[in-house]
Chains A and B, each alone.
Chain A
Amino acid sequence: MSAYPMSPEALRKRKRTVFVLTALAVAIVLTFIVSMNTGLIRLSPADLLRTLSGGGTERQNLILFDFRLSRIVISVLIGMGLAISGAVLQALSRNALADSGIIGINSGAGLVILLFVAFYPTATAAPAYLLPLLAWIGGGFAALLVFTMSYRRHKGLSPNRLLLNGVAVNAGISAVTIVLSLRINPEQYQFVLTWMAGSIWGSNWSLVAALLPFILVLIPFVFYKARTINVLGLGIELATGLGARVSREQIVLLAAAVGLASSCVAVSGNIGFVGLIAPHLARRLVGQRYQALLPAAALAGALLVLAADTFARWLLQPTEIPTGIVVAVIGAPYFLYLLFRTKK
């Protein structure tokens, strides 16, 4: 940990990081409480406390534990997963505009989910734990396609090409998805549509259980690799000079990022822009070092998705708008802002 001595500057930075992380965590807890309270049926804070401590009525138990709490937990998990995935992708591609949605990972994962739904007639009863794994294959395929096309020998990855190819692969996968989705029956079609709009349909704990292992393994793994990511962010030549096994590390990290994004997307539906916004916010708050940036991005992502989900439930009651729509409405303008602010 203390590879270099703590200068006053570093101490100040560390203090700032601790402060930012605490503030984000507090904000998450507050949103969490508000979110438990938001929905068609209101639970007063007193009811909430009573239910949480085990004294609620059957109906209150059902609403809180089976519907709301699982959804909240999923929001937090996918917020973290997508944010970390975005942070890693941005470092790997050395492109501030990279995000799993833009690169095509999300739609690749979605296509596989669609195929699964189409060939597994009773999708609702389908084993939930299979979804993230299958999504990983689809997302991985899309990512591989985009990355290999954007790679030039001796030049490495071209950041701009990555985005353009991502846009194109996205469009292609969406077209294939549309063609295929017309072949499945209306019920499944409805499912696919809601999925594409990014609604957190997982109101049950089996989806949490399906997603949790990915989050628990991959996020700590990425944290562990934080220093490698720092080095990779300097560029291939420099990273090689510093002794990193560049291509191996790149592939491993890419696989981790794809795994995080696709497993999240498998559970939550196509939610874009989280992987873009959260790392940017984190970078502004705690700086470039990935040891600090990664946790901050994870918390910011969790906060963003949780807030968006709460908002989506609250805005047009009793209709629920998919969370993905809310995130896109926040995220797209931010992306445009970044696009026109950054030089180059």
Chain B
Amino acid sequence: MTAMTRNPNQASPTESANAESRIYSRPRTAIVTIVLGLIALAFGLALSVTFGAKDIKLFTVWEAILNYQPDLTEHRIIHELRLPRVLGCMLVGSSFAVAGAIMQGMTRNPLADSGLIGLNSGAGFALALCLAFMPGLPYMYLILFSFVGAALSAVFVFALASGVKGGLTPTRLVLAGVTLSALLTALSEGVALYFRIGQDLAFWYAGGVAGTRWMHLQIMTPWVGAALLGALILSRSITLLSLGEDVARGLGLRPGAVKLAGTVIVIVLAGSAVSTVGAVSFVGLLVPHFARKLVGVDYRWIIPTSAVLGALLVVAADLAARTVRPPYETPIGALIAIIGVPFFLYLANKEQREL
């Protein structure tokens, strides 16, 4: 904190152009937001569990959790379908949002998002290869392969970025990510067409949480939990890094090490989220910006707030996806993109300077 207030001329990552922008942090707002967010999340959870093809009373839900009786159909629906689904939404939302926050902080790039940068499509391509060449692979390995895919495309984009003097401008990073996505999507489509796994993959690409089961959560939770914890530990360094590499170095930080750790966390978060829900973009873009507006520029607060708000966004989107036209489900990836695109346009056009 003290380090930050000492540099009033250093701009936040969103507004690095206008150097006079104030550094601010509002821990109290952050705590209130997190608490309110958690309460809203609890409501969302309850709503999401009760709502569906079969309406179930809240009381039954409560009973199903406290006093589970496997021979009751309603209890089984709650236990085996709805709860894992909504918990999956929460994990995925937090993962994408925190991954986006870390990337935005590390790269000082307001448009960074795991989907826009091409990580999602890397994981998707890895998944396509798995479905094609190793059908019936256990989920544990699918998740590992999607890590590998996400990691490879991250390494690729970051390597390209570091090859350019002075780093990548936001525009170039987005363009590189979009192009990489186009390439990997084309390859995945080719694989899908050849091996006739198009439909599996299409639904996956559009983003679906309907298939989440306890088994997925069991595998995912340790990874995501560890990565979120890592993100919290790293958050102070990310705040420093978001002030600029030179400043961070001057304050005794080793930017290389922090960036490496941050990238690993991003890959774990984005990789596991993508392997569960499919290629959902824009969560990592929307949520951290919103969090930053609320709580200021300190990543020690941005990261937990983003985790809560991200979970809330995806739970809400999932609820909306089921309400738009029951009993059919609209892919949540598409729904979030419909909210995310106008916001992206706003960000891209807001600033007077060239991005």
Contacts and interface: CB of A to CB of B under 8 A. Distances in A.
Interface stretch (A32-40, A168-176, A244-252): A168-176
Contact of A193 (B116, B179, B202, B337): B202
A175 B171 contact: no
B328 interface: yes
B92 interface: no
Interface of B: 111, 116, 160, 163-164, 169, 171-172, 174-176, 178-180, 182-183, 185-187, 189-190, 193-194, 198, 202, 206, 281-282, 325, 328, 330-331, 333-335, 337-338, 340-342, 344-345, 348-349, 354-355
Interface in A65-95: none
Nearest to B321: A179
Contacts of B335: 175, 179
A333 B183 contact: yes
A317 B185 CA distance: 21
A319 B189 CA distance: 13
A336 B348 contact: no
Nearest to A198: B186
Interface of A: 97, 102, 149-150, 158, 160-161, 163-165, 167-172, 174-176, 178-179, 182-183, 193, 197, 272-273, 316, 319, 321-322, 324-325, 328-329, 332-333, 335-336, 339-340
Given A172-B337, A332-B179, A164 B355 contact: yes
B166 to A, nearest CB: 11
Given A178-B206, A193-B202, A321-B190, A332 B349 contact: no
A210 to B, nearest CB: 26
A287 to B, nearest CB: 26
Grouping DSSP codes into helix (H, G, I), strand (E, B) and loop, the A interface class, with mixed when no group exceeds half, is: helix
Given A329-B186, A333-B183, 16 more contacts: A150-B349, A163-B175, A164-B111, A164-B171, A171-B341, A175-B335, A179-B335, A182-B206, A322-B193, A325-B193, A328-B182, A328-B183, A329-B183, A336-B176, A339-B176, A340-B176
A332 B185 CA distance: 11
Contacts of B328: 182-183
B348 A178 contact: no
A163 B189 contact: no
A336 B337 contact: no
Contacts of A324: 186
Contacts of B331: 178-179, 182
B47 to A, nearest CB: 22
A182 B190 contact: no
B238 to A, nearest CB: 25
A183 B160 CA distance: 40
B176 A168 contact: no
Q: Which 4 A-B pairs have the closest CB atoms?
A: A172-B341, A332-B183, A175-B337, A328-B186
B345 A149 contact: yes
Quick one: which of B111, B175, B354 has the most chain A CB within 10 A?
B175
Contact of A321 (B193, B198, B337): B193
A339 B182 contact: no
A193 to B, nearest CB: 7
A197 B171 contact: no
A316 B186 CA distance: 15
Given A160-B171, A175-B337, A178-B206, A336 B330 contact: no
A149 B342 CA distance: 12
Nearest to A159: B354
Contacts of B194: 316, 319, 321
Contact of A160 (B338, B341, B355): B355
Contacts of B355: 160-161, 164
Nearest to B186: A328
Contacts of B338: 172, 175-176, 179
B160 A168 contact: no
B189 A197 contact: yes
B171 A158 contact: no
Given A160-B354, A322-B193, A165 B348 contact: yes
30 contacts: A102-B178, A149-B349, A161-B355, A164-B111, A164-B171, A165-B349, A167-B174, A168-B344, A168-B345, A168-B348, A170-B178, A171-B337, A172-B338, A172-B341, A174-B334, A175-B334, A175-B337, A176-B338, A178-B206, A178-B333, A182-B330, A193-B202, A321-B194, A322-B189, A325-B186, A325-B193, A328-B185, A339-B172, A340-B160, A340-B172
